[in-house]
Structure 1
């Protein structure tokens, strides 16, 4: 048999069992609901700001304080998953998250808004970590990259939620009514997904590292990694790699916040856009991110996570710079779309790399990286809000191209592997 007759990996890959395929769709549904439930709120932010009477600084501070809940609760995600399993934690806490979103809709003061966002972010952090952990279980059974598609479903949920929120704003649906409908609908779907998730312990699919593999993040065999000082069960080298992966998500989260928190307000304040058109800034970002994530597995298999991240950072930087230099509704939507596509693969890439790091206890790497992601959502809203009050929101959003530089700086920790097989 010559080289042309050698069967490819795809041709000899065993069929995926029905249980595993169902689990993939169930995990995808949890990702979808996680995106839709919260993102339906975002187009209603201008109404909340107006009804409470907040300045950009006060609003940015309320949104920025919210992730403190995520920073605190995320520290307990690994312990909860160890005790109850990632499937049960993801579904239960997602229902709690949808309940907290109703409180956001009902906000009547700055303090209420800040506390309800903190509770929402606390639930979201645990859901985020546990659904990614369960998604990694399913990916290992598929033996190929499918993590980007999960995050694609999150983005599709975000777009769906954004469209529903924008339409509700245009129609004048009361905020409380949107919150009640969301709780009933999203909560019921989350509860129904549980029966299809994988049973058993979360470590079932993990296999001991056989040794170094060229080009992957943190390529240090467990048996030769430094065994001196250890923090949370990790060597200093492994901890450094996890922190670097976390910094990638700090900048990715900051970029997403540009569309989530400020997109609608930017369109309203700069172009006096209608409520529906204002909501399209967020939809443009998430819509492009959705496309980037559903196509991302094929791109990553060809280029590797590192090259894909760097290409996306350059495109995002160029698109947003164009939007701010030549501000029109069309260029603004193009700019938000560019940054959405640019960060599309960063979350799945960083979570995968953290979960695969040798010498990192199960659940710890993905928890720490998820915790760092919350820093971006915590730090940037108050900064952008304060700059907007001094310079206008148009100039404050020049922070977004700066985030792209941060991605370029830390993306070297991501994997260079192309067409990798997931074991």
Structure 2
């Protein structure tokens, strides 16, 4: 076991991974509307291109566990982060919709592996701490996404070309993650996992798999809300509500901003009330907040609606990850890997569905996926831990 000082440094290094992962792709997101316009894509074509990111993640997800076992989570996280940064720059200068989609496909593959690796490392740090820290680390991811979104909005407002903006962002965040690498926890990642200590002898019954399925759908609902902010908020505010480009970017910034706030206070809330109660309250906030924003569409109201959605789903994915990682009888890391991989179906399907509905009816109708996801969270939160079961 690492020393107390070493664990604190490992937590800071893990936070750097989450910050970088949130910031890199968020720098590209405010540029999506101009890329869509420059490449003359329809809503459905744009939705399909954006969905390529999730398709790549879905295809690559199963490889994450094998790569982590072979090369360890710290090394895998850093290498795939550098690959992601390079692919984001390539996507920004793609000359055709096909190249744009293909680049996002490989970027999604890199991001999926980074996601599993950084969470494996973070949960290992959490086990050394002996208390919940995973929400605060996911809050750092949201802080990175806010930073990236603001960098993108600022670059647009200042007229900085896409290529220059994203090369600078890539170099900056690659430098951060490389500087953090020496302080990440090294060695085998699952020797201290509860399933490793009991020798993997616990029986895996049908309820374990049913619980895992519920957790996957719960995480997909959270992913649907996050994708609505990243893929469609800027476009909806700009094209349907007439907001200027720099203002339109604040739909996404509001969502990730309140995602950050919710995760920052999330560890204390779930320690006191349990993941289940917090997720149910969040599902209600998401459904009501975004439902009202869509019923009475204005630029300020929509930004507030995305903020409510971000606050509502803040703890959902970290809670689902923690619960899946602790399911009895599964091999160490199996529950987390399966959930993270299958959750990508939500990121894959959401932009496609919203894009098709947007072309057939309107983008406002497509964004009904957000309050529907809030209702799904309310219905499925029972799969999460209560305050008593976490003790």
TM category (shorter chain) comes to over 0.9
Structure 1 residue 420, shift from structure 2 partner: 3.8
CA contact (8 A) 1:144 1:420 kept: no
- Decide which of 63, 77, 93 is 2:64's aligned counterpart: 77
The structure whose Rg is larger is 1
Structure 1 residue 419, shift from structure 2 partner: 8.9
Determine helix, strand or coil for the equivalent of 1:289: helix
Structure 1 residue 206, shift from structure 2 partner: 2.1
- Structure 2, unmatched stretches of 5+, are none
For 1:243 and 1:126, the matched residues in 2 are separated by 21
For 1:223 and 1:89, the matched residues in 2 are separated by 29
Determine helix, strand or coil for the equivalent of 2:294: helix
Is 2:154 the partner of 1:167? yes
CA contact (8 A) 1:56 1:389 kept: yes
Is 2:238 the partner of 1:268? yes
Structure 1 residue 65, shift from structure 2 partner: 2.5
Structure 1 residue 208, shift from structure 2 partner: 4.8
Structure 1 residue 223, shift from structure 2 partner: 5.0
Structure 1 residue 354, shift from structure 2 partner: 1.3
Structure 1 residue 270, shift from structure 2 partner: 2.2
Q: Which runs of 4+ in 1 moved over 4 A?
A: 208-211, 221-224
For 1:73 and 1:335, the matched residues in 2 are separated by 33
Determine helix, strand or coil for the equivalent of 2:249: helix
- Decide which of 178, 185, 188 is 1:191's aligned counterpart: 178
Question: 1:44 and 1:418, CA in 2 relative to 1: closer, same or farther beyond 3 A?
Answer: farther
Corresponding residue for 1:147? 134
For 1:222 and 1:80, the matched residues in 2 are separated by 21
Corresponding residue for 1:114? 101
Is 2:3 the partner of 1:25? no
Query: Alpha carbon RMSD of aligned pairs, Å?
Result: 1.8
Question: 1:158 and 1:224, CA in 2 relative to 1: closer, same or farther beyond 3 A?
Answer: closer
User: How do 1:7-406 residues align onto structure 2 when only pairs under 5 Å count?
Assistant: 17-208=4-195, 223=201, 225-226=203-204, 236-406=206-376
Deviations 1:133-185 (A, max 9, x none): 10000000110000000100000000000000011112121111122112211
Q: Scaled by the length of structure 1, what TM-score is found?
A: 0.89
For 1:185 and 1:77, the matched residues in 2 are separated by 25
Determine helix, strand or coil for the equivalent of 1:371: helix
CA contact (8 A) 2:238 2:248 kept: yes
- Decide which of 396, 400, 407 is 2:377's aligned counterpart: 407
Determine helix, strand or coil for the equivalent of 1:199: coil
For 2:3 and 2:253, the matched residues in 1 are separated by 34
Structure 1 residue 240, shift from structure 2 partner: 2.7
Greater mean deviation of Cα atoms: 49-58 or 172-181: 172-181
Greater mean deviation of Cα atoms: 314-323 or 103-112: 103-112
CA contact (8 A) 1:51 1:108 kept: no
Corresponding residue for 1:8? none
For 1:24 and 1:52, the matched residues in 2 are separated by 42
Count matched residues.
Answer: 390
For 2:20 and 2:171, the matched residues in 1 are separated by 12
For 2:202 and 2:162, the matched residues in 1 are separated by 57
Higher normalized helix content (fraction of residues): 2
Question: 1:353 and 1:261, CA in 2 relative to 1: closer, same or farther beyond 3 A?
Answer: same
Question: 1:16 and 1:336, CA in 2 relative to 1: closer, same or farther beyond 3 A?
Answer: farther
CA contact (8 A) 2:27 2:166 kept: no
Structure 1 residue 88, shift from structure 2 partner: 0.9
For 2:45 and 2:64, the matched residues in 1 are separated by 30
Question: 1:374 and 1:57, CA in 2 relative to 1: closer, same or farther beyond 3 A?
Answer: same
For 2:60 and 2:268, the matched residues in 1 are separated by 34
- Structure 1, unmatched stretches of 5+, are 1-14, 212-220, 227-234
Structure 1 residue 393, shift from structure 2 partner: 1.1
For 2:269 and 2:126, the matched residues in 1 are separated by 17
Determine helix, strand or coil for the equivalent of 2:338: helix
CA contact (8 A) 2:285 2:309 kept: yes
Structure 1 residue 222, shift from structure 2 partner: 6.4
